[in-house]
Amino acid sequence: MLLSPPLPSVAPAARAHGRRHGVTLLVWHDIVPSDKLVWFDTTVREFDAQLARLARAGAVPISLEALYRYLAVGSPLPPPGAVVLCFDDNTQGIYDHAFPKLARHGWSFAVSAHTRYVGVKTGKAHCGWDELRTMARGGAQIVSQTHTHPPDLRLLGDAALAREMTVSRQIMTREMGAPPQFLTYPSGKWDRRVALAGASAGYRLGLTEDPGMAEASPHQMGLHRYSTHKRFGEAAEAVSRSSRGQAGRT
């Protein structure tokens, strides 16, 4: 029986540091002016209130690149209250409503995009490449969310799964000038086979919607993130504990 290769582990020093000052990842989807089209939209008013609560909790936004280096080798250590702010699905509201607010603060953030729908309107409008490049210049890390955003990557055959990973990476490399280093699993659905496909395609972190602190993730291709639509209060409390040096307490 052939054994699958190991997935990249979280550095022991990062796991130890995370017991006091863990890093919290939060994920939003679309930011809308007022009326929600789907339940996981966030209104501008809600978003403003959430950012204010995170600030009161002691949140210090860091980049995904900084988080990757820390998880891989255990340094540099992130500050107490470190957070990574993530936005999935590359919807126009991220550019129109979230980006200006984050840019004013000088905060890093991450935007996940499915390359088949960049600049395309489906049920919602999606940012084009020019807007993604503008956000990248303004502090965003652009993350692959596969090519077509399948509803469940686990149901794809090996060849189709590999295409979702590699086609997205090829297109992003051409459009953004460098290969994307990080991968978001659409709808948070993944397993070890999906994670291995991502690692084989060249991605260094895999972003889930499994709640918990980053350092407690099973490996670098199974990174915990809190959904702001279901667990924002829980995430804000995690940030507060991290800022006080109590991240391991529940």
* DSSP codes joined into one string, 54-103: HHHHT-EE--HHHHHHHHHHS-SPPPTTEEEEEE-TTBHHIIIIIHHHHH
Whether 221 maps to a domain, the answer reads yes
In a domain, 182, yes or no: yes
pLDDT digits (tens, 9 = 90+) for 64-91: 999 999 999 999 999 999 999 999 999 9
Q: What is the pLDDT of residue 115?
A: 98
Q: Which residue's entry shows tokens 């000038």?
A: 177
The pLDDT of residue 249 is above 60: no
pLDDT at 198 over 70: yes
SS3 171: helix
Q: Domain for residue 6, yes or no?
A: no
**Predicted local distance difference test score (pLDDT) of residue 22:** 97
| Residue 3: per-residue pLDDT | 54
Assess if residue 122 is contained within a domain. Answer: yes
Q: What are 154's strand-pairing partners?
A: none
Which domain, by its residues, includes 204? 12-243
The strand pairing partners of 84, in sequence order, are 25
Mean pLDDT, residues 133-146: 97
pLDDT per residue over 163-184, tens digit each? Answer: 999 999 999 999 999 999 999 9
CATH number at residue 220: 3.20.20.370
**Residues above pLDDT 90, as percent of the chain:** 94
- Its pTM stands at 0.96
Nearest to residue 147, comparing CAs of 175, 124, 123?
175
Using the predicted structure, report yes or no on whether residue 250 has a pLDDT greater than 50.
no
